Structure 1
């Protein structure tokens, strides 16, 4: 049975991939920001276990994990959690830059650092669910795109560093996906949200599973997914 640790399993893409993994008999460990959210996710995903770590405070992740029982084996670490606050460079406050960089970039780096010893033993895989914004930046998306461009750099560096340990590293770049986060983006943009126009969360989950299930003699490094309609 493979063991997968997932951030962002409470909704959207993270929820979709967690359900797919549980349905096929794998073990899922979901990272939750606090004990209350952990209980909600455990009820939402029967069979999953949880760890509590607030990704908005990367400097406290090590302390939080030290107080909990960590699995002895992890086959994949899936970074799916993310936040977005739109705004022009002229208008966006430093706190919103800090929040997006913390959750979208620094927390994945720190969580990966802490779990690398276990991932090396299992010759596991790290998957970063990035964004089309990690490849290009549009007006109003500066802070979010900066965090996602940084996430691409993190993945590229990690891949080069960990190949000798047999750890595979994959970046997934979904286009606009029908998730609660996308609905919030539309609210910020002041536009009508129609989920039928976008990629389904399950379609992105399929791309993640494809990367995870690839035979060990190959590695998907970067995979871009776009709406098919």
Structure 2
């Protein structure tokens, strides 16, 4: 049977492609976007694709409590917390207000929506069989230098999801994470631009040119420009599924790397 799936941050990237794919597979999608100006273009695209009966496009700005109140009036079987933002740059020099904002958008606001959603399901007596999915990251399981702010929010999401899985099991609510590698969607590339709006060599010790080269060199490698369709195809299968793995890492090479990294962490020295 088709599921009704509420997706946050569906204007572009992974969720945009997955929303279309899941709709084509017979699921009903509430595709939400943060900015009002994104609503009409996505509705027009949905109509062009002949999916108007399967995809409903709405605004859901998680910073707007009225948007959240409205979303709680909708009926859905699965909440996919996909919306997020990222701050890169050296953790020891990044302005702390940017760190707070990254946690607000990636952790606190999705948790607000999740808390209210699962309580609604429980109060209605409809919780069994429902599911919450979090878009985490390969960065939720390891921390490369100069990405620490963003990936620390994903580490936090991993803990939130693991706790929720245990706490909500008795109600029949399932929890999953999806952990993409560095697929080429434009998200990582624009995140890498963010430090250069505040990094000032008159105040900071991090060299702008060296940091820019580090980012550019990574994105020039095959590992930094993987085809996003592989991840989208995985999401199309994982998000609506009644069963599956709690953690879903793609590609396999990244999963293997993360397992090795975590094993080696026990022997790491200072």
TM-score with structure 2 length normalisation?
Answer: 0.73
Of 84, 95, 98 in structure 2, the residue corresponding to residue 96 of structure 1 is 98
Equivalent of 1:66, from 56, 65, 69?
69
Show structure 2 runs of 5+ residues with no match.
195-210, 255-270
Alignment equivalent of 1:199, drawn from 218, 226, 249: 226
Distance 1:161 1:100 in 2: 26
**Structure 1, residues 47-80: CA drift from partner, whole Å, max 9, x if none?**
222332323x2xx43x3233468323x1211122
Give CA deviations for 1:129-181 in whole Å, capped at 9, x if unaligned: 11111111111112111111100011011111111111111111111011020
Q: Establish whether residue 75 from structure 1 lines up as the match of residue 68 from structure 2.
A: no
Match of 2:167 in 1: 161
- Residues 54/171 of structure 1: CA separation in 2 closer, same or farther (3 Å cut): same
Residue 135 of structure 1 is matched in structure 2 by 141
Of 205, 221, 228, 2:246 maps to 221
TM-score, normalising length: structure 1: 0.85
Q: Map 1:1-229 onto structure 2 (within 5 A).
A: 1-46=2-47, 47=52, 48-55=55-62, 57=63, 60-61=64-65, 63-67=66-70, 70-72=73-75, 74-120=76-122, 121=126, 123-185=129-191, 187=193, 190=212, 191=216, 193=219, 197=223, 198-214=225-241, 216=242, 218-226=243-251
CA distance in 1, matches of 2:38, 2:239: 27
Cα-Cα RMSD: 2.5
Larger of the two Rg values belongs to structure? 2
| Structure 1 spans left out of the alignment, 5+ residues | none
Q: Secondary structure of the residue that 1:173 maps to in structure 2?
A: strand
Aligned-pair CA distance for 1:34: 3.3
Deviation at 1:118, TM superposition (A): 4.8
